[in-house]
Structure 1
């Protein structure tokens, strides 16, 4: 099965990467290449929308973890949303979920990003 990758800029420093299909040995290199230009953006957030992802292999996990490491190096975030049960199970098996931020929807992610940005622009404001 193939992998369709759609990238949409959500805010100045945030992108949603929607994945549909299978992230495996054949498709992982293209996924890594597609993410590369987005990774070295200090403080940026990448959201992987996995609602359409049906399968992930160890090669796919490797690319996800490489992206997570790259984001951490520039104080950025890699977050997840819409994990199918079988994809969530894979992340649980490798004990990755507790360290990852997962959202149920784009709206929940937008609310979180809005809150994080307000903490930076209005530090200490109790209304944020």
Structure 2
């Protein structure tokens, strides 16, 4: 299987990348080239969400690509969050400890709860009673 990427701008500060297929030694370069075009357009303090629900395989080359995105976003005071990793992909992240656990989310609701919590901390509110 090959690799494909769909990009969705949910808001001016949040961009979602939907990864499909295999991110490996043969496909990482396409991903990196797409990121060179898109990442500079994401504003300071922005958030990149990598939706991995359709990513079936990731190699060390793919891990390096994601690490580049994380470094780029950190340098711009932004964030990189991983969403919906399939079990085999999540296991790779667990094994290599490539991404902090608090940046991997099982689903969109979990991600939204985290983002809501972080925003409430900034404005000094307590936890939300319901979403």
**Could you tell me which residue of structure 1 aligns to residue 2 of structure 2?**
2
Q: Provide, for residues 2-41 of structure 1, a one-character-per-residue CA deviation record: whole Å limited to 9, x for no partner.
A: 1110110112200111111000111111111222222553
**Corresponding residue to 1:53 among 52, 55, 64:** 55
What CA deviation, in whole Å up to 9, does each residue of 1:89-125 have, x standing for no partner?
11111122435511122233234334444555xx224
Q: Residues 99 and 111 from structure 1, CA distance in 2 versus in 1: closer, same or farther, beyond 3 angstroms? A: closer
> RMSD in angstroms over aligned alpha carbons?
2.0
* Aligned equivalents of 1:92, 1:105: Cα separation in 2: 17
1:124 aligns with 2:124: yes
**Uncovered stretches (5+) of structure 2, i.e. residues with no partner:** none
Q: CA deviation at 1:127?
A: 6.8
Q: Is the 8 A contact 1:80 1:100 kept in 2?
A: no
Give the distance between the partners of 1:59 and 1:100, measured in 2 at CA. Answer: 22
Determine the C-alpha separation between the residues in 2 that align with 1:13 and 1:108. Answer: 19
Question: How far apart, in 2, do the equivalents of 1:85 and 1:62 lie?
Answer: 19
**TM-score, normalized by length of structure 1?**
0.85
Could you tell me which runs of 5 or more consecutive residues in structure 1 were left unpaired when the two chains were aligned.
none
State the match for 1:38 in structure 2.
Answer: 39
- Contact map agreement 2:50 2:83 (CA 8 A) in 1: yes
Normalising by structure 2, what TM-score? Answer: 0.83
SS of match in other structure, 2:82: strand
- SS of equivalent to 1:83: coil
The farther-off stretch of 89-98 and 3-12 is 89-98
Q: How many pairs were matched up?
A: 126
Worse overlay, 38-47 or 98-107: 98-107
Q: Does the CA-based 8 Å contact 1:46-1:79 persist in structure 2?
A: yes
